[in-house]
Chains A and B, each alone.
Chain A
Amino acid sequence: MNNRFHKMAIPYLIWLYALALIPTIFMFFLIFFDMEGLDFDEIKITLKNFAQLTESSTLIALWNSIKYAFLSTIICIILGYITAYFLYKSHFKNKFLILTILILPMWSNLLLRTQALASIMEPHNIITSLLHLNPNTQEGLAGKGIAVVIGLVFTYLPFMILPIYTALEKIEPMLEEASLDLGTTEFKTFFRVTLPLSFKGIVTGSVMVFLPCMSGFAIPEILGKGNIVMIGNIIEQFFKNMNYNIGSLLAIVILLLILVSIALVNKFDKEGETIL
């Protein structure tokens, strides 16, 4: 192709440096300072921001984030793999329609969906009203940890199904036939051929579910009713209160977890074929 076109990529490189790299470096700097908002006049070099990392509120939030994100990811893997495998094995090969069914719910506003979920977790809700059920006196799920896990699974499940389905679809069907011809049972074929070959889909899906689950703040806030605090909520609070230094520190903690996850995806899926 024409080699003059390569110049069109240069502005994008500058754009990415300016909006992706520089702010990250800037956040690293902010960690070591103490100031009001972004007021550089009264700037002090300090290490006291790091004390926030050992505060019990931060540790509880971090533990909550990891616990709920991990639980949601496991549930998503189980439900997602079975669904993706079912779709792959069914003779329903219209991939576009499958994609449509999975993507359509995402067009609905995330916060509105979460709010709808929160409202039917109350003991008095629209379903009991429609079915004329006697609302049982026991308290609803809202405000409990399980409500947050349900919300996270309901929101991020499609992000697990899609990569696994993509990975399954790329398996050469002849490999399974060969395995069966060579005398393994269907179960052994699944565990020795299909599962290892679709493993990169599971890794990509897990990262795509785990990261937003861990770092989000809207779902725990709406479904947790203030009882469940995750690391995203704390970061949001610090930034709202113009404490950019500690906020940046906690954001960097998340960033480190993200880097580990990206390294994981790169290890298992070198071409990045299951990401999109």
Chain B
Amino acid sequence: MERKVKISPLSGKEIATMAEYGYHNFAILKKILKIIGIITVILVAIILYLSIIIIFIYSVNSSGSTTEFKSFTFKWYFKITEHRMLFKSIINTFVVSITATLISTFLGTLIAIGVFNSNLKRRKRIMLLNNIPLLNADIVTGISLMLIFSLLLKIFPYIFGFPTLLIAHVYFTLPYVILNVLPKLSDIDPNLMDAALDLGVKPRKALFKVILPAIRNGVLSGMLMAFTMSFDDFVISYFTTGNGFDNLSIWIYGSIGRKDLTPAVYAFNSIVIFGAMLILLFANIISIKNQKRKIK
């Protein structure tokens, strides 16, 4: 390759180019990469929200068909309670996920405190086992629980249904609570508890008055995660329920199989998304306000 030579007008000698000094002009490449980045982010936003928008369109489509848009309507929103099976499965979903979330938040917080105070050996063993429900494939978790519940069938003949579903949901939501609470426990000043005990507070009362307020944020985020997981679960519920006790996911799966999905379910889903959006935005505004107050 022929090298461009620049001659200095002063000395008449060759000047090294910028590239020879090791400088590369990346301005164009940078611009291209930035454009690729923006396109990707837009694409990801579409990926995340396309199906939600489609679901919303179905929920306001008066023809009830998924191929043809007729006119705008809110009638499906009033038909949620009319469709008996759909409404029953919605109630079941709420009952199971709220109960499971409350149980695992309460027990998970106590367990996390227990794990935190255990010796290293037991702590390691529990944390290893705690990862099993978290990382195991849903289908394997579902099958395992179903097998265990089937073994209990001889003692409790009517166990399948609400009890098994609840146990299963508590089983896979507990690790989320524990993992959210544990780091907050290590942030507490260890002297805090001793101070409370020195001041004559009983240990159980100190737990509620001292430790619990300090780990509040961890408990709340664990609770939110547990509810999210429980509310949307399909595979584990599918294997562990029985006796016609369906949650929303199982009902939807059955309806898709029978090809008679009512548009009311799209309406319900849109309400959930809209509600979640409001709650999360509200929480966001509160957290921003709190940060500002801290800075002041």
Contact = CB atoms under 8 A, between A and B. Distances in A.
A97 B284 contact: yes
A117 interface: yes
B7 interface: no
A109 B134 contact: no
Interface stretch (A168-176, A195-203, A247-255): A247-255
Interface in A182-216: 185-187, 207, 211-212, 214-216
B139 A2 contact: no
Nearest to B66: A119
A115 B256 contact: yes
Contacts of A130: 57, 69
Interface in A241-268: 244, 247-248, 251, 254-255, 258, 261-262, 265
A1 B193 contact: yes
B159 interface: no
A262 B131 contact: yes
Interface stretch (A15-23, A44-52, A55-63): A15-23
Interface string A136-162: 000000000000000001100110010
Contacts of A80: 44
B130 A16 contact: yes
A104 B280 CA distance: 8
Contact of A82 (B41, B68, B114, B140): B41
Contact of A9 (B114, B167, B235): B114
Contacts of B193: 1-2
Contacts of B129: 13, 16-17, 20-21
A120 B54 contact: yes
A40 to B, nearest CB: 10
Contact of A187 (B26, B133, B171, B261): B26
B139 A215 contact: yes
B26 A258 contact: no
Nearest to B172: A19
Contacts of A247: 143
A16 B66 contact: no
A235 interface: yes
B162 interface: no
Interface of A: 1-13, 15-24, 26-27, 30, 38, 79-80, 82-83, 85-87, 94, 96-97, 100-117, 119-120, 122, 124-126, 129-130, 153-154, 157-158, 161, 185-187, 207, 211-212, 214-218, 222, 232, 235-236, 239, 244, 247-248, 251, 254-255, 258, 261-262, 265, 272, 275-276
Top 8 A-B residue pairs of the complex, sorted by shortest distance between their CB atoms: A8-B114, A9-B114, A23-B144, A215-B137, A113-B51, A16-B129, A6-B117, A82-B40
Interface of B: 24, 26, 30, 36-38, 40-41, 43-44, 47-52, 54-55, 57-58, 61, 66-69, 107, 110-111, 113-119, 122-123, 125-126, 129-140, 143-148, 150-151, 153, 167, 171, 174, 176, 179-180, 190, 193-194, 197, 203, 206-207, 211, 225, 228, 231-232, 234-235, 239, 248-249, 252-253, 256, 261, 265-266, 269, 272-273, 276-277, 280-281, 283-284, 287-288
16 contacts: A5-B113, A6-B122, A9-B115, A9-B123, A9-B126, A12-B126, A38-B153, A82-B41, A83-B41, A108-B272, A109-B252, A111-B256, A112-B269, A129-B67, A217-B139, A251-B143
